[in-house]
Amino acid sequence: MSQQKPRQRGGRVLDKATPEQVMGLARNLPLTHSVPGKALEDATPGQLGVLADLFRAENASRTESRRARLIRNAGFPCVKGFDGYDWGMASFPADWGREQLMDLGFVDRAEDLVLYGDVGCGKTHMAIATGMLACERGMPVRFFTASSLVMRLRRVR
């Protein structure tokens, strides 16, 4: 039995989709569950493919917009990632390391992360890169330097 290839139409490749796949894609969108369900009852395979493509694109767009909004709202002074980070400057406790930092499990467990060291050892770079990673994974972040946080706290008094 050969698998059918997606057919080409107007310069676009249309994938086949099932009503269940379309409803799964629509789940994250603010649609009344009954509206797409009703529309799918009589939809042709081609129409299902178009709807699946539409919902897939909308979900991707919303994910990207959320990521960009989280990064913007975090207040990072610049954009940094772990690419090019000099891990030789960092040291970790014996039972904790790079993998634990990058899997962000400490966030889920509501544990603190304290970065300390001499000037120029990469604390700010690591903090920004960790925050960026959290934003990429959909977690809200707020960046403060120690001195800016102290100043904010003093103004609140």
Express each pLDDT in 112-129 by its tens digit. 888 888 888 888 999 999
Q: What is the Cα–Cα distance from 152 to 116, expressed in whole angstroms?
A: 20
CB 144 within 8 A of CB 75: yes
Global pTM?
A: 0.69
Name the least confident of 14-28, 62-76, 97-111: 14-28
Question: E-strand spans in the chain?
Answer: 7-9, 12-14
pLDDT of 35:
76
pLDDT of 5:
53
- Amino acid identity of residue 64, one-letter, is E
HEC readout, 96-115 = CCHHHHHHCHHHHCCCCCCC
Does 72 score more than 90 pLDDT? Answer: yes
